[in-house]
A and B are shown apart, each in its own frame.
Chain A
Amino acid sequence: MDADQSREIVRRVADAAGAGTALEIRGRASKRFYGRAPAGAPLELAGHRGIVRYQPSELVLTARAGTPLDEIDAVLAEAGQALPFDPPRYAGGSFGGAVAAGLSGPSRPFTGPLRDFVLGTRLVNGRGERLRFGGEVMKNVAGYDVSRLMAGALGTLGVLLEISVKVLPAPRLVRTRRLALTRHESASRVRAWVAAGLPVTGAAHDGDALRVRLAGAEPAVEAAVSETGGEEEGDGFWSALRDHELTFFRRPGAPLWRIALPSATPEPELAGASLADWNGQQIWLRSDDEPDRIREAAAVAGGHAALFRGGDRDGEVFQRPGPVLWRLHSRLKQAFDPNGILNPGRLYAGL
């Protein structure tokens, strides 16, 4: 099933660049709902797949963009390792799509975001040139870090062909504890546990209770469990949270917003139902409130809001940068994709 289709992909991009045709870059289309409405002729990456290099003792995995995440998960699990950023799998998802979306799972505030683990990329820019940046080594400061720039750029700067990421040993023991605490109590208690060195890798509050995940070596986890108290629960909650399979996400109704906040910041008061992940740094909000009001409330709290799922996908879904930042954004887009053919408008209108 593994296939290197890079030659064909490079040719398609070069042709589109010549003709000025917009391309919609598609992996496994599991996050097609995300960002602004897709436009352009489909450029399929799903067939460009396979793990290119993986040697567990190097802690580096290199795979083609179309490789299904579950294939990568399985190969890593066999060696007792995992993707440390634990990206959402939604309906499966591809490796390239995970990097392009730049989304990280529940462990993000404790073990780091996806972009932290990107080491190198091979990509096609909007001129149809095949380029390589970074590499398969942990430390590399030769040239600008273009690879990390691709994380979260939603394919607007380049078509990812191959990505190398740092991987880590999977924790030897994972325990989930449920504690009936208010959100406010939860947040300060989790911060205290982290400061005391407890191996916390997840902290979410669904409105009723805090769930805290403790993961690592056995002695540290066992000690942490006796410190946190609470009731034992299975760890299925975390993948259901990560993949938006909890009832909160699945029930029909108001659009889903994602509000990111600085640490130890009270959640802004907004109409609708909410669920707090990342120990209160990522608020999921189901709300019919005015988009501008939600964005304004997030900004006042020092954070930002994105219309994650539903609502008007033709309007802006991400918080728009100020004028100086916007100029840098549009110049960078110009630098990578002068004809504006790669996922045009997916991140912001006019980019």
Chain B
Amino acid sequence: MAADSVYRDEDLQFAFDREDLVGRLRAVVPPDALILDRESLRVYESDGLSAYRQLPLVAVLPETIAQVQDILRICHELSVPVVARGAGTSLSAGALPHPRGVLLHLGKFNRILEVDARRRIARVQPGVRNLAVSEAAAPHGLYYAPDPSSQIACTIGGNIAENSGGVHCLKYGLTVHNVLEITMVTVEGERVTLGSLAPDAPGYDLPALAHGSEGMLGVVVEAALRLLPQPQSRQVLLAAFPDVSSAGEAVAGVIGAGIVPAGLEMMDNPAIRAAEAFVGAGYPVDAAAILICELDGHPGEVDEQLHRVRELLGRHGAQDIRVARDSREAARFWAGRKAAFPAVGRISPDYYCMDGTIPRHRLGEVLARMGELGEAHGLRIANVFHAGDGNLHPLILYDGNAPGELERTEELGGRILELCIEVGGTITGEHGVGMEKINQMCVQFAEPELAQFRAVKKSFDPRGLLNPGKAVPTLHRCAEFGGMHVHDGQLPHPGLERY
């Protein structure tokens, strides 16, 4: 999170002449598509994780695939780093510019090319906003399932780069499950199609690699998305629990009973209070935890499941169970959850959002240990949790102006991520590694695994020009970080106390 020296020396070894680069770019894009002055470049200096700031050398805003190809060909020939950017909503500094590189902004690729209702496919450019896809599909009774909380702003290209999730993943999957075909431009400037509209494209599953690759393998210039029929019926339920662990057990109870809700979210007391104060969702502010459960499908099926879920939650100690009477009340139940981050932003000068995923049955233990870690670091933590799929978003509250608090927050964040790995989870469920969690990659993976990642990267980008310094750490970085790889969920010397 420190603003300076986020790039390491080895990430900066690119020797070329800036004037040469600018001259070559001028020849392939219109004059207003090239941004060179510092003041205009400042727009791009950070993404959704504003603790990191860096100006790019130049920014380019192409509007055709041919221009993207030309730009990449030039950068490849001169060995110039390229960072692709959509709406810049990344929470892991994935779109942080490179000081020696081109910032490739795809904002002009903002057209929905086709909605084919018969085949249930939308063909879109990468700069199309996530929500705009569902809006365009709605007149046909269809929608696009992945709905990250930033869906008003975030774009499809970025969703593919991060394999974005949302609150409906347990039932409807992540971005990788909802994209049929990607058109990508390689670093060498070649256009290539990954996947296909027909099932099981021949050869290796390259869309699997492209999703979540954080702009390291190529630049997405078009995608074909799978659309789903809107469910016939939907019910949302809110349940309050006297303690966090019984809420966790209730989640296991619902899923163990064979019910897969469309959404299943948990918030702890600090998050409930913050959200209630912000949007007045009607949350019970004395509850230790609440669950929001959404069921969808055939009306008869939804009614039956609703009945069973109410009973299951009651059996697991829920004290107050409310079913939304209409879509407005349902929207209000969701409003508090969806506004949880800004709500926490109101009660603390700064907050730091984590993104670990854990096996659900370890939830109680992880929350307890996180509480202890928070106390040991003198910092408060609010928790929102995609309970259905084990994706935890602890929000560490801090004051960036108080001396030493940012450093303590960083330290606590690192400990929480290592805790997630220790219980068999991961450091990032949906926000990506980017620059933010790159050191923890040395903990999650052993060196031969990181070496395999680097070899995959090299298959697509032999000169290491696409988003250098992000996502996959170098051997040097891990050596310096003191790479404490947790093997099989066992920290080295598990008996030792760690703070």
Contacts and interface: CB of A to CB of B under 8 A. Distances in A.
Please provide the 5 A-B residue pairs with the shortest distance between their CB atoms, ordered closest to farther: A219-B300, A169-B258, A220-B298, A148-B208, A57-B256
A278 B232 contact: no
Contact of B165 (A55, A60, A139, A146): A139
A329 B118 CA distance: 33
A145 B208 contact: yes
A139 B448 contact: no
Contacts of A334: 459
Interface in A224-254: 224
| From A58, A143, A195, A328, residue with most partner B Cβ within 10 Å | A143
Interface in B332-366: 357-361
A349 interface: no
A325 B441 CA distance: 29
A59 B459 CA distance: 34
Contact of B169 (A139, A151, A336): A139
B426 A140 contact: yes
B400 interface: no
Given A260-B198, A335-B452, A145 B212 contact: yes
26 contacts: A60-B359, A102-B200, A137-B426, A139-B169, A139-B426, A140-B428, A142-B426, A143-B441, A143-B444, A143-B472, A144-B209, A144-B456, A148-B208, A149-B206, A151-B208, A217-B297, A217-B298, A223-B300, A263-B118, A281-B199, A322-B192, A328-B204, A328-B460, A331-B460, A336-B455, A347-B203
Contacts of B174: 139
A141 interface: yes
A168 interface: yes
Contact of B452 (A58, A146, A304): A146
Interface string B218-252: 00000000000101100000000000000000001
Contacts of A55: 361
B198 A195 contact: no
Given A139-B391, A197-B232, A332-B456, A115 B208 contact: yes
A64 B115 CA distance: 43
A255 interface: no
B428 A148 contact: no
B139 to A, nearest CB: 13
Contact of A329 (B203, B253, B424, B455): B203
Interface in A309-336: 318-322, 324-325, 328-329, 331-332, 334-336
A139 B432 contact: no
A303 B198 CA distance: 5
Contacts of A320: 202
A152 B177 contact: no
A342 interface: no
Contacts of B430: 139, 141
A135 B424 contact: yes
Interface string A184-215: 00000001001111110000000000000000
B427 A169 contact: no
Interface stretch (A13-21, A38-46, A106-114): A106-114
A302 interface: yes
B186 interface: yes
Interface in B183-224: 186, 190-194, 196-206, 208-209, 211-213, 217
Contact of B199 (A59, A260, A331): A260
A266 interface: no
Interface string B456-499: 11111000000000011000000000000000000000000000
Contacts of B361: 55, 57-58
A144 B199 contact: no
Given A132-B446, A142-B445, A169-B260, 10 more contacts: A104-B200, A135-B426, A139-B357, A139-B386, A196-B229, A197-B232, A197-B297, A263-B197, A304-B198, A336-B452
Contacts of A282: 199
A172 interface: yes
A129 interface: yes
Contact of B298 (A135, A157, A197): A197
A58 B426 contact: no
Contacts of A318: 202-203
Range of interface residues on A (Cβ < 8 Å): 35 or more
B433 interface: yes
Interface in A59-91: 59-60, 80-81
Contacts of A144: 209, 212-213, 217, 453, 456-457, 472
B211 A145 contact: yes
B199 A143 contact: no
A145 B176 contact: yes
A217 B300 contact: yes
B209 A145 contact: yes
B206 to A, nearest CB: 7
Given A143-B445, A195-B141, A217 B359 contact: no
B389 A116 contact: no
A329 B192 CA distance: 12
B316 to A, nearest CB: 12
A216 interface: yes
Interface in B80-134: 118-121
Contacts of B297: 197, 199, 216-217, 220
Interface string A121-162: 000010001111101111111111110110111000100000
Contacts of A332: 204, 456, 459
Given A152-B205, A332-B459, A194 B176 contact: no
Contacts of B471: 143
Interface string B421-444: 000111111111100010001001
A111 to B, nearest CB: 11
Contact of B203 (A58, A195, A348): A348
Contact of A113 (B142, B199, B458): B199
B452 A141 contact: no
A325 to B, nearest CB: 6
A264 B211 CA distance: 26
Nearest to A134: B426
A6 to B, nearest CB: 12
B77 interface: no
A80 B298 CA distance: 21
B197 A325 contact: no
Contacts of A113: 199-200
B449 A132 contact: yes
Given A143-B433, A219-B300, A223-B298, A335 B456 contact: yes
Contact of B433 (A141, A157, A319, A336): A141
B268 interface: no
Interface string A333-349: 01110000000000110
Contact of B196 (A115, A133, A145, A303): A303
Contacts of A60: 359
A57 B177 contact: no
Contacts of A112: 173, 177
Interface in B252-282: 252-253, 255-256, 258-260
B305 interface: yes
B449 A131 contact: yes
Interface string B300-330: 1101110000000000000000000000000
B28 interface: no
B65 interface: no
B441 A281 contact: no
Contacts of B54: none
B26 to A, nearest CB: 28
A261 interface: yes
A306 B202 contact: yes
A169 B256 CA distance: 8
Nearest to A299: B198
